[in-house]
A = this chain, B = another copy of it.
Amino acid sequence: MGKKGTPRESLDIPEALGIVPGAIFLVCLIFCLVGFASGSNSTSKLLDCNSALLSICFMLFLGFTDDVLDWPWRYKLFLPTVASLPLLCCYTGSTSILVPTPLRQFLIHQGDLAPLGKLLEFVRLATVDRGAVDGSILHLGVVYLVYMSMLAVFCTNAINIYAGINGLEAGQSYVIGCAVLFHNLFEMHHGINIQAKTHNSRTSTTFNDDTLENHLFSTMIMLSFVGVTMGLLRHNWYPATVFVGDTYCYFAGMTFAVVGILGHFSKTLLLFFIPQILNFLYSCPQLFKLVPCPRHRLPRFDATTGLLNPSTFTVKANPSSLLHRLLAIRHFEDGTVEIANMTVINAFLQIFGPMTERSLCLALLAFQMFCCSFGIVVRYQISHLLF
């Protein structure tokens, strides 16, 4: 959409080119799968790998049909749910979670179920592990599967609505991909060290071969993903010669979801998704139609300055609304008020002033990098205070 106001000749820029890295990615992964199948004897790992590929492939396919056929909104929630089903029904891992230390007292108090624990068991959402007397483990069962399915829907759509600027979709995916890859490699390094020590001292460890294999599997997917994304980013960087389309956003989101679910680090993954979460929360009033939502909420290109400005919508002024007071850009004499579209992209333009598409993309990617670093710090430095 950004191309509309620009003086560049851009009508012949391919739109849904996410299909090409997607296809290459799938072919890479299928060959990885062949290697995995010949190397590993475990059927359940092979099943994981297969269902991961099926979910990503189905999502890629749905993304492409979305680019071509423009699905209505409700399908965008329904289809990722269906695409995540193979993953869920082949999920053989744990469906229990470790409860953060400050919350444990609400589950079990002095060896007995506390009110919150009783409530959870009463509505059959979860069972508290009575073997662990401090209430540290909560068995979620089906609720965990629902959570995973929602994670898939969230990841696919979160990247899709935080997009629209040259290089942003591929850039954010690249940064998140690198963070995930760092996490995997660090965990594997850490795990191998622990294993080596355990082998010498014969003490018990919580880090086993299975966890190692999960991270290896995730590394395999992420290496392919970061590779194709780098290639795409080169052509999608400002000034873009290709656009990535919904295809890429969906398939990138599904890849992250799959890796987070099968690698058992969905909470860490959500830490890397902080900008997308902020963008989603900030967009909620528009997404749920509490305030008007135009079809596209991209920044407006000002041809005279060559800079991007926040795009806006106009509503009847309501002085008692906090939203109107905080976000209003201009008040009109006829009692209407102009409000910037509620996306993180527009918020950046409001905070830092109008800037070029290239600078805006760099600023947003810097923010993404900051959030991912923050996520890694939280994961490795702060999380052990909570668990």
Contact = CB atoms under 8 A, between A and B. Distances in A.
Contacts of A37: 89-90
A33 interface: yes
Contacts of A85: 30-31, 33-34
A53 interface: yes
Interface in A42-95: 43-44, 46-47, 50-51, 53-54, 57-58, 60-62, 64-65, 68-69, 82, 85-86, 89-90
A269 interface: no
The copy count of this chain in the complex is 2
B50 A82 contact: no
A82 B27 contact: yes
Given A26-B58, A53-B54, A61-B60, A89 B33 contact: yes
Contact of A57 (B27, B38, B58): B58
Given A19-B65, A61-B61, A50 B54 contact: yes
Contacts of A43: 43-44, 47
Contact of A47 (B23, B47, B60, B82): B47
Given A43-B44, A58-B26, A60-B61, A38 B89 contact: yes
**Which of A23, A44, A69 has most B Cβ within 10 Å?**
A23
A90 B50 contact: yes
Contacts of A23: 61-62, 65
A86 B27 contact: no
A31 B23 CA distance: 25
Question: Lowest 9 A-B CB distances belong to which pairs?
Answer: A37-B89, A61-B61, A54-B54, A50-B50, A34-B89, A30-B85, A57-B57, A47-B47, A43-B43
A299 B202 CA distance: 77
Contacts of A82: 27, 30
5 contacts: A23-B61, A50-B51, A50-B90, A54-B57, A57-B57
Interface in A11-44: 19, 23, 26-27, 30-31, 33-34, 37-38, 43-44
